[in-house]
Structure 1
Amino acid sequence: MSNNVITPVELRHLISNDADVHLIDVRTAAEFESAHIPGSYHVPLDTLSEHRDEIKRHLTQPVVLVCQSGNRASQAGEQLAAAGMENVRVLEGGVGQWTMVGGDINAAGQKWGLERQVRLVAGSIVLISVIASLFVRPLALIAGFVGAGLTFSAVTNTCGMAMVLSKLPYNKGATCDVREVIAELTGTPTPPASAQAS
């Protein structure tokens, strides 16, 4: 996906010159509701994974995938590329880098992003297990287990802890109906519920 990366500066230029570009934010509902790039559409990573073929069938315009740091957007890009989409790019550095270069943002709250939550949980587990190992030595193994998990996460560009945390009520928000998002992106009416069920 390295050749399909777009920098925040390039994206700002693209948005101002190409009305057909679509931004798809693959973060959790809570992250999206807390802050997102104006004009972006919300399709969480797990939902996008389930509907990638449907998205490919309907979206022919340029698409830029967005997350907090670029990792989840890269995963989404790989999944869409595997489905045959060639019009997809990933925002380098995600929303974090976008805001650092002064990009516009719609901010509505102060909920922690998923990656920050992972750092809090992983750090807390390591800290508690190291302190507890002063009294019960084998508990130090827990810190090693977390370290191994973080290493695996970096090597595979996946994160099991993030997947688990994304399911918590704190990270839930309005659900995403992919058909409605596709209808908005393509400018076509949403099919009636009976047609969607068929």
Structure 2
Amino acid sequence: MTTPPPGIDPDHARTRLQEWTVVDVRTPGEYAAGHLPGAHNVPLGSLRRALPALRAVDGGLLLVCASGNRAEQARADLAEHGVQASVLAGGTRGWTERGHGLHRPERGRSRSPWAMERQVRLAAGAAVLAGLGLGLVHPAWRLLPAGVAGGLVFSALTDTCGMAALLARLPHNRPHATDLDAILARLGSARG
């Protein structure tokens, strides 16, 4: 079993995917929309709860998200707790851009969940429109779109997203406790 290097390119990851335990730190909705083959879904907000299972993994950990940002945050958090992991460069976007397929489980007739980026765009756009519309009633409501604009600038400068952190707490973006328990049990018994 080999430990993957700190950041790995999708082509290299594809050739050695069976050697590592892949942990997708996106929301359950994003994960269900498509993930790397064999990936386990442990959302970023559940990472601390997963520490014992992640420590028990034999072999290397490869962290994945949509672009690599959340996976890098997860890698830093895990490193603070003595767990070494690597990040898939470019995330699932980079993976698919290289022509590698994602696993999309059959979900029957359920609607496809939205990616976090899409949820953020909807929430930001809706807040701006609401603020502009309500600003016609009372000028103080114009502060809402100004706040959203300020948040977007801050998000770009810091490469963080407070709105995504809030949206991740919505029920459709959180795993059910039983789902997470099953994932952690599988992780605890995973052998790179």
TM (normalized to structure 2)?
Answer: 0.81
CA-CA distance at 1:21 after TM superposition: 1.1
Q: Does the Cα contact within 8 Å between 1:8 and 1:97 map onto a contact in 2?
A: yes
CA distance in structure 1 between the partners assigned to 2:173 and 2:184 by the alignment: 22
**Structure-to-structure mapping, 1:1-198, within 5 angstroms:** 4-15=6-17, 19-52=18-51, 54-55=52-53, 57-86=55-84, 88-108=85-105, 110-174=112-176, 175-177=179-181, 179-186=184-191
CA distance in structure 2 between the partners assigned to 1:25 and 1:106 by the alignment: 12
Q: Does the Cα contact within 8 Å between 2:57 and 2:188 map onto a contact in 1?
A: no
State which drifts further: 76-85 or 133-142: 133-142
CA-CA distance at 1:56 after TM superposition: 5.1
CA distance in structure 2 between the partners assigned to 1:51 and 1:171 by the alignment: 17
CA RMSD after TM alignment: 2.3
Q: Does the Cα contact within 8 Å between 1:56 and 1:83 map onto a contact in 2?
A: no
Q: Which runs of 5+ in 2 are unaligned?
A: none
Q: Does the Cα contact within 8 Å between 1:153 and 1:160 map onto a contact in 2?
A: yes
CA-CA distance at 1:25 after TM superposition: 0.4
What CA deviation, in whole Å up to 9, does each residue of 1:2-53 have, x standing for no partner? x8222212211222xxx3211100111122122111111111111113333x
Secondary structure of 2:19 counterpart = coil
Amino acid at match of 1:93: G
CA distance in structure 2 between the partners assigned to 1:166 and 1:136 by the alignment: 31
CA distance in structure 2 between the partners assigned to 1:35 and 1:71 by the alignment: 18
Q: Does the Cα contact within 8 Å between 1:70 and 1:92 map onto a contact in 2?
A: yes
Q: Structure 1 residues 35, 153: closer, same or farther in 2, change over 3 A?
A: same
Q: Which runs of 5+ in 1 are unaligned?
A: 188-198
- Identity, % of aligned pairs? 37
Q: Structure 1 residues 98, 152: closer, same or farther in 2, change over 3 A?
A: same
State which drifts further: 70-79 or 5-14: 5-14
Amino acid at match of 2:97: M
What CA deviation, in whole Å up to 9, does each residue of 1:86-138 have, x standing for no partner? 3x111122112211221121124621111210111112212332344345333
Q: Does the Cα contact within 8 Å between 1:44 and 1:176 map onto a contact in 2?
A: no
CA-CA distance at 1:59 after TM superposition: 2.7
Amino acid at match of 2:77: Q
Where does structure 1 differ by over 6 angstroms across 4 or more consecutive aligned residues?
A: none
CA-CA distance at 1:140 after TM superposition: 1.9
TM (normalized to structure 1)?
Answer: 0.79
Secondary structure of 2:190 counterpart = helix
